[in-house]
């Protein structure tokens, strides 16, 4: 049986710091994904299929198709496969799977973890990515005001300030009893039409104001819904105040 290599010259070796099966699980990989990936190292099925259940592996495995050449362990391929496994789960299973990683990462126990799971599932490839992906729920991330300038979204700091003020009014006007993702979605998506703007010219500033991050799981609507009315308004007020101060002094580097 050929060895598994870390590159063309070196074998995988725990002594040299290469990950064991347990190490991979601790890094947020699923046991099923690791087994699936390892089964394909040095063995090739007769078809192009890459995702296998254990029963399928047992059925299709043939020792005659084991390669005589060493196989190189590709962590990027394993990460891709792990993401495929996560996205294939039904939402309930996914939610239960990520809770041991998600709950310790959230400081506010009142946040709806199921709603957070919905926005994480299409975007997270391994469980250890979760803490960094959700850190903005704990506090508004430090960010330069230049983030409000987005060429693709056709957003500028001046336009962002106008959009944030209008969005603030819309969010404040949603009754607490009516606060749902559907309501937030309807109200915020009506705003660009009323302002004569594109969706991104309104939603990008809102997402920037409530997260402070360039990349987040979920967009402005989902995040505002999860944060809730009070916290969303507090963060938007902060964004408005910073933009007003910076534009008055023409300093967007802060």
What value does the mean pLDDT take over residues 133-143? Answer: 96
- Model confidence at 144, pLDDT cuts 50, 70, 90, reads very high
How many Cβ atoms from other residues are within 10 Å of residue 183's Cβ?
14
Q: How much is the pLDDT for 6?
A: 84
Report residue 222 CA to chain centroid gap: 12
List, in sequence order, every beta strand (DSSP E) within the chain: 4-5, 71-72
Please give the helix or strand (H or E) that residue 93 lies within, else none: helix 91-105
Residue with tokens 């106008």: 162
Over residues 143-161, the mean pLDDT reads 92
The band of 8, judged by pLDDT with boundaries at 50, 70 and 90, is confident
Average pLDDT over every residue of 142-166: 93
Please, what is the average pLDDT of the chain? Answer: 93
**Alpha-carbon dihedral sign for residues 119, 191, 137, 128:** positive
Q: 3-state DSSP call for residue 5? A: strand
Task: Give me the DSSP letters along 11-77.
Answer: B--GGGT---HHHHHHTT--HHHHHHHHHTSSB--SSS-----HHHHHHH--GGGB-SS-EE--HHH
CB hemisphere CA count around 142 (13 angstroms): 2
Tell me the per-residue pLDDT of 184-195, one tens digit each, with 9 for 90 and over.
999 999 999 999
Maximum CA extent, the chain:
74
Write down the pLDDT at residue 17: 67
Q: What is the pLDDT of residue 19?
A: 80
Q: What is the pLDDT of residues 41-99, one digit of tens each?
A: 889 888 889 999 999 999 999 999 998 888 899 999 999 999 999 999 999 999 999 99
- Report the pLDDT value the prediction gives residue 254, as an integer from 0 to 100: 61
- The band of 101, judged by pLDDT with boundaries at 50, 70 and 90, is very high
In percent, the amount of the chain with pLDDT more than 70 equals 97
Statement: residue 15 has pLDDT above 90: no
Looking at the predicted structure, is the pLDDT value of residue 253 above 80?
A: no
Nearest to 142 by CA among 222, 231, 239, 227: 239
Determine how β-strand 4-5 pairs with β-strand 71-72. parallel
Tell me the pLDDT tens digit for each residue of 207-226: 999 999 999 999 999 999 99
Q: What are phi and psi of 196, to 5 degrees?
A: 70, 30
Q: What percent of the chain has pLDDT over 90?
A: 81
Distance CA 163, CA 185 (A): 16
């Amino acid at each position: 049986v050929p060895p598994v290599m870390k590159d063309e010259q070196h074998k995988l070796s725990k002594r040299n710091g290469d990950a064991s099966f347990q190490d991979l699980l601790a890094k947020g990989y699923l046991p099923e994904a690791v087994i699936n990936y390892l089964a394909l190292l040095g063995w090739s099925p007769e078809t192009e299929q890459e995702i296998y259940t254990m029963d399928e592996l047992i059925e299709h495995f043939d020792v005659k198709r084991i390669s005589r050449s060493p196989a190189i362990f590709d962590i990027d391929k394993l990460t891709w496969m792990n993401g495929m496994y996560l996205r294939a789960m039904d939402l309930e299973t996914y939610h239960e799977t990520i809770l041991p990683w998600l709950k310790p990462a959230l400081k506010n126990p009142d946040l709806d973890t199921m709603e957070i799971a919905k926005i994480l599932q299409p975007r997270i490839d391994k469980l250890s990515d979760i803490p960094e992906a959700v850190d903005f729920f704990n506090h508004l991330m430090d960010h330069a005001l230049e983030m409000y300038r987005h060429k693709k979204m056709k957003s500028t700091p001046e336009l962002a300030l106008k959009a944030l003020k209008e969005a603030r009014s819309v969010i404040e006007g949603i009754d607490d009893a009516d606060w749902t993702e559907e309501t937030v979605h309807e109200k915020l998506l009506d705003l660009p039409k009323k302002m004569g703007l594109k969706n991104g010219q309104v939603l990008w500033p809102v997402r920037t104001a409530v997260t402070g991050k360039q990349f987040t799981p979920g967009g402005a609507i989902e995040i505002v819904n999860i944060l809730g009315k009070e916290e969303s308004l507090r963060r938007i007020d902060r964004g408005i105040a910073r933009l007003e101060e910076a534009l008055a002094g023409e300093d967007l580097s802060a």
